[in-house]
Amino acid sequence: MARILITSALPYINGIKHLGNLIGSQLPADLYARYNRGRGNEVMFLCATDEHGTPAELAAAKADQPVAEYCADMHKVQTDIADRFGLSFDHYGRSSSMQNRKLTQHFASKLADAGLITEVEDRQVYSNTDGRFLPDRYVEGTCPNCGHDGARGDQCEECTKQLDPTDLINPRSAISGSTDLEVRETKHLFLRQSALRDQLDQWIDSKTDWPILTTSIAKKWLHDGDGLQDRGITRDLDWGVPVKKGDEDWPGMEGKVFYVWFDAPIEYIAATGEWAEANGKTDADWQRWWRTDMGADDVKYVQFMGKDNVPFHTLSFPATILGSGEPWKMVDHLKSFNYLNYDGGQFSTSKGRGVFMDQALEILPADYWRWWLLSHAPESSDSEFTWENFQQSVNKDLADVLGNFVSRITKFCRSKFGEAVPEGAEYGEQEQALIAELTTRIRAYEGHMDAMEVRKSAQELRAIWVAGNEYLQSAAPWSTFKTEPEKAATQVRMGLNLIRLYAVLSAPFIPTAAASMLSAMNTLNTSWPDDVAEALNALPVGHDFSVPDVLFAKITDDQREDWQSRFSGKRD
Ligand SMILES: [Zn+2]
């Protein structure tokens, strides 16, 4: 039994995520977690809300709530939606947890001990009206690069250029709108990433099985221009992890917090500590996943994220871990995704364009979305959501192929043999041919799933469903029954066993439908089909079942048109 540690990039706390966010990390991570559990591996699957930084403070101010209360509320909202999408986290943590606070302060202290932190006099925008520094998004103004007027202190959304608040032309406070601003000196901690360049370089070189796309992004940041830059890891804010050296005060850093990008990835580890605490486990129980001196040596660690997050996961977070000099588990495989576009443009949280997770569940159950998103995952390039494609994929793959198979065989059996697996004879030539084909296909499916090839896995799963349909079509028990009822019984027995097999194989993609199929087959047997012939005899003769409700309803043209217009404009 392998031990697999899986983390999904942390969704930011300020609002409900859209489907593009979902397929960019959480959903494929869930697919992989469910698959590995299905194979009998020991899985620890973690995610958390990323709660610090200026966007959270600004969103809380807009909602007229204290920021801690706003984050607690939004965490509940995100947890609920994640549950309803079937995201099977072992723990969904919070980067504002006490565990993360302690661990972030611990890492900072280790980095300081190793001489990897310097104190730098920095120039920051200060608002006389607001009586405070204005880091990152607290300053708005005109982009020096493209002239866009609504540029924020960390980035211009129009031209995507990364900015520093002092770069903005005609800057103003995002809190009060005041232009009574000045640049003041303030002291900040910088992580000396440049001193870790060779170590990071060697570590990246050791990852020979990583996709070129991933290693080339990391190499570019390591070597382009002046090479990897030192990075400010503190901010003049109230909301965040207070700057401390372990348990001790950090002279000169009073009232400052760590930058959100420093503490957020540490939450991957801290969330495991939260899991331990929430489940009455010991420190050793979570450390065996993360400390190579505590048993994590045999753990395979996989991270899922959007491509924009790759530099932080290949350089910044590894710099924190390597620099600590402590034996922490580092990532073994990093699976990154391109972007999902929406109907001829981009999903946009700020513009409210596209379908958001809560809206998706208002119109259809999670499995419909899970299937489409995973089978169209933006792996090798960006992909696009269109309502036509969604309708076609749901109607063909889910309703016509899988749903129809289940409905047809269960109803036919009920009408001719009753609601129990009929006896018939031994499986014949046709059944043996099917077993041979399914064996080949299931081994291919496992190969794609192990390699985290999401689209290829979906294609193979669909082919496995199709093989059963083709068998049923050509065996035609409804005709056989007239002349050879015993043979028809054998065919039906095969069909009912296929339903259980499909439920087990499909559960990572469509867990709710898979559970309905198992429940209709009246079985708790979810064992993986290592031996396909054996798996197709799992439901014995005489075993009771019931005819399930329709698994997947077809999407009508009227519905499609209705949703198309409903989601074309601004989210209300
Ligand atoms: Zn710009």
Question: Phi first, then psi: what are they for 413, rounded to 5°?
Answer: -60, -45
Q: How far apart are CA 18 and CA 346, in angstroms?
A: 11
Q: How far apart are CA 130 and CA 181, in angstroms?
A: 9
Whole-number Å distance, alpha carbon 121 to ligand 1 midpoint, is: 27
pLDDT of residue 352 exceeding 80, the answer is no
What is the model's pLDDT at position 570? 61
Whole-number Å distance, alpha carbon 309 to ligand 1 midpoint, is: 21
Pick from 110-119, 206-215, 336-345: least confident = 206-215
Residue 146 assigned to a binding site: yes
Residue 413 assigned to a binding site: no
Q: How far apart are CA 442 and CA 457, in angstroms?
A: 10
What is the model's pLDDT at position 475? 97
Burial of 416: CB neighbours in 10 Å, binned 0-12, 13-18, 19+? middle
Q: How far apart are CA 276 and CA 512, in angstroms?
A: 28
Mean pLDDT across the chain, nearest whole number?
Answer: 95
- Mean pLDDT, residues 323-342: 96
Alpha-carbon distances, residue 479 vs 473, 483, 489, 541, 563 (angstroms): 10, 8, 12, 22, 42
- Mean pLDDT, residues 355-384: 96
Residue 556 assigned to a binding site: no
Whole-number Å distance, alpha carbon 134 to ligand 1 midpoint, is: 20
pLDDT of residue 2 exceeding 50, the answer is yes
Whole-number Å distance, alpha carbon 140 to ligand 1 midpoint, is: 12
Q: Is 354 left (phi over 0), alpha (psi -120 to 50) or beta?
A: left
Q: Name residues with Cβ closer than 5 Å to ligand 1, which is an ion.
A: 143, 145-146, 148, 156, 158-159
Burial of 555: CB neighbours in 10 Å, binned 0-12, 13-18, 19+? buried
Q: How many CA atoms lie within 13 A of 148 on its CB side?
A: 15
Whole-number Å distance, alpha carbon 142 to ligand 1 midpoint, is: 8
Whole-number Å distance, alpha carbon 139 to ligand 1 midpoint, is: 14
Whole-number Å distance, alpha carbon 377 to ligand 1 midpoint, is: 30
What is the model's pLDDT at position 353? 83
Whole-number Å distance, alpha carbon 225 to ligand 1 midpoint, is: 22
Whole-number Å distance, alpha carbon 256 to ligand 1 midpoint, is: 29
The answer to pTM > 0.85 is: yes
CB 142 within 8 A of CB 170: yes
Beta strand segments in 311-394, E? 333-337, 340-342, 345-346, 383-385
Higher pLDDT: 225 or 97? It is 97
Pick from 187-201, 349-363, 404-418, 460-474: least confident = 349-363
Residue 439 assigned to a binding site: no
Contacts of 141 (CB under 8 A, 6+ apart): 149, 151, 153, 168, 169, 170, 171, 172
Helices (H) and strands (E) in the chain, counts: 22, 19
Q: How far apart are CA 499 and CA 515, in angstroms?
A: 11
Whole-number Å distance, alpha carbon 162 to ligand 1 midpoint, is: 9
pLDDT of residue 61 exceeding 50, the answer is yes
Whole-number Å distance, alpha carbon 341 to ligand 1 midpoint, is: 21
pLDDT of residue 395 exceeding 80, the answer is yes
What is the model's pLDDT at position 404? 97
Q: How far apart are CA 350 and CA 498, in angstroms?
A: 46
Q: How confident is the model at residue 538 (pLDDT cuts 50, 70, 90)?
A: very high
Q: How far apart are CA 248 and CA 132, in angstroms?
A: 25
What is the model's pLDDT at position 380? 87
Q: How far apart are CA 523 and CA 333, in angstroms?
A: 35
pLDDT of residue 357 exceeding 50, the answer is yes
Whole-number Å distance, alpha carbon 169 to ligand 1 midpoint, is: 11
Q: How confident is the model at residue 572 (pLDDT cuts 50, 70, 90)?
A: very low
The DSSP string of 94-116 is ETTSHHHHHHHHHHHHHHHHTT-
Which alpha helices (H) appear in 306-351, and where do they start and end?
310-311, 317-324
Note the pLDDT tens digit of each residue in 226-283: 888 899 999 999 999 999 999 999 999 999 999 999 999 999 999 999 999 999 999 9
Residue 156 assigned to a binding site: yes
What is the model's pLDDT at position 569? 66
Instruction: Give the 3-state secondary structure of 532-571.
Output: HHHHCCCCCCCCECCCCCCCCCCCCHHHHHHHHHHCCCCC
pLDDT of residue 384 exceeding 70, the answer is yes
Closest CA to 306 of 18, 24, 6: 24
Q: How many CA atoms lie within 13 A of 360 on its CB side?
A: 26
Q: How far apart are CA 321 and CA 137, in angstroms?
A: 28
CB 127 within 8 A of CB 114: no
Contacts of 473 (CB under 8 A, 6+ apart): none
Which alpha helices (H) appear in 484-528, and where do they start and end?
485-506, 511-520
Closest CA to 141 of 177, 188, 105: 177
Whole-number Å distance, alpha carbon 148 to ligand 1 midpoint, is: 5
Whole-number Å distance, alpha carbon 150 to ligand 1 midpoint, is: 9
Note the pLDDT tens digit of each residue in 201-235: 999 999 988 888 788 888 998 998 888 889 999 99
Whole-number Å distance, alpha carbon 149 to ligand 1 midpoint, is: 8
Q: Is 277 left (phi over 0), alpha (psi -120 to 50) or beta?
A: alpha
Q: How far apart are CA 439 and CA 457, in angstroms?
A: 15
Q: What percent of the chain has pLDDT over 90?
A: 86
Q: What percent of the chain has pLDDT over 70?
A: 99
Burial of 453: CB neighbours in 10 Å, binned 0-12, 13-18, 19+? middle
Whole-number Å distance, alpha carbon 22 to ligand 1 midpoint, is: 27
What is the model's pLDDT at position 568? 78
What is the model's pLDDT at position 416? 97
Pick from 66-70, 134-138, 404-408: least confident = 134-138
What is the model's pLDDT at position 308? 87
pLDDT of residue 350 exceeding 80, the answer is no
Contacts 24+ apart (CB under 8 A), 443-449: 445/505, 446/39, 449/31, 449/32, 449/35, 449/508
